[in-house]
Amino acid sequence: MNLHFQRFPAPAKLNLTLLITGKRTDGYHLLDSDFRFIDFGDDIDIAVRDDGCIVLETPTPGVEPESDLTVRAARLLQQASGSRLGASLRVTKRIPMGGGLGGGSSDAATVLLALNKLWGCGLSRQQLMTLGVQLGADVPVFIFGRNARARGIGEQLEAIDLPAAWYVVCKPPVSVPTGPVFQLFSQKLLTGEVRFSIMRSLFDATQKQNDLQSVVTAMYPAVNEALNRLNEYGSPLMTGSGACVFLELESEDQAKSVFQSLSKDMVGFVAKGLATHPLYDGEA
């Protein structure tokens, strides 16, 4: 079979603020969070196959190919669209796993967006978002394509305009699993150590916070250390359920200079905030 690969970007996200506002009866927590895409991410090379097979040529260490979100996204679209076509996938992984940067979710969203076009499925953006949330709470925002305020578990999205900004992102040497962080948050609710954040309009709108941060720093001192290092230059925050932490700066020069002054053992990068997802085409 003659395979013709095309490259599609899968950007990382930052949660510029993340409030936990309640809990659904199925145990999922309700959020109020501002998502921003950044110019750092994975790349996925995709070739259409005429035999219907979904082949991941670059398995991620520690993730069974069948449970990889790229493969699950392709199979889900096959089922939903009835397409008889298949795909070969090559993932160039840069986004650290368990980093709160949404790597797996972004990979899944990119596969859904790309194969919808390559297979000619013709599903709307909204239909793809409905499929995407079955794979993970973070998938819909990547399909939505604009920086967004997300509510519900991440499926109620409202586009937001954000000023140009650069980010120093640090990756402490730990990988944080999302489920246990929410579980611990729930336990601490019972003991009164954490609370649900009431409506955001009652807060100072400029105040940014992450309600999962205290839970994660209690479990992982390395996350606290990274926050302390960045604290010397501004007000850093953890993204998502961690482990990455970031500091927003107004210029690229400022961001680079902060990054350079961090000690060499701090793993991280400088990224620009994007206005939209690179695959966003303006269509609703």
Ligand X SMILES: C[C@@](CO)(OP(=O)(O)O)[C@H](O)COP(=O)(O)OP(=O)(O)OC[C@H]1O[C@@H](n2ccc(N)nc2=O)[C@H](O)[C@@H]1O
Does 161 qualify as catalytic in the annotation? Answer: no
What distance in Å separates the CA atoms of residue 166 and residue 46, rounded to the nearest whole number?
Answer: 30
Strand, coil or helix: 190: helix
Between the CA atoms of 263, 175, 148 and 105, what dihedral angle is there, to the nearest 10 degrees? Answer: 130
Min separation Cβ 18 and ligand ADP, Å: 12
For residue 37, how far is the Cα from the chain centroid? 8
Task: Pick what 110 binds: ligand X, ligand ADP, none; C-beta below 5 to 8 Å, kind-dependent.
Answer: none
Catalytic residue, chosen from 13, 32, 171, 211, is 13
Task: Pick what 63 binds: ligand X, ligand ADP, none; C-beta below 5 to 8 Å, kind-dependent.
Answer: ligand ADP
Which residues form the interface with ligand X (CB under 6 A)? 15, 27-29, 31, 33, 100, 102, 105, 136-138, 153-154, 178-179, 182, 240-241
Tokens 């359920």 correspond to 241
Q: Which is nearer to ligand X, 72 or 119 (CB)?
A: 72
Instruction: Report whether 138 contacts 105 (CB < 8 A).
Output: yes
Does 13 qualify as catalytic in the annotation? Answer: yes
On whether 101 is known to bind a ligand per the annotation, the reply is yes
Which residues form the interface with ligand ADP (CB under 6 A)? 60, 63, 68-70, 95, 97-105, 107, 178, 240
On whether 242 is known to bind a ligand per the annotation, the reply is no
Min separation Cβ 213 and ligand X, Å: 11
Please, is 166 exposed, middle or buried when counting C-beta atoms within 10 Å of its C-beta (0-12, 13-18, 19+)? Answer: buried
On whether 86 is known to bind a ligand per the annotation, the reply is no
Strand, coil or helix: 86: strand
Task: Pick what 179 binds: ligand X, ligand ADP, none; C-beta below 5 to 8 Å, kind-dependent.
Answer: ligand X
Min separation Cβ 171 and ligand ADP, Å: 11
Instruction: Report whether 34 contacts 17 (CB < 8 A).
Output: yes
Instruction: Report whether 259 contacts 270 (CB < 8 A).
Output: yes
Burial 250-269 (b: 16+ CB within 10 A, else e): eeeebbeebbeebeeebebb
Which residue's CB comes closest to ligand X? Answer: 240
Min separation Cβ 97 and ligand ADP, Å: 4
**Which positions are catalytic?**
13, 138
* Binding site per annotation, positions for ATP: 96-106
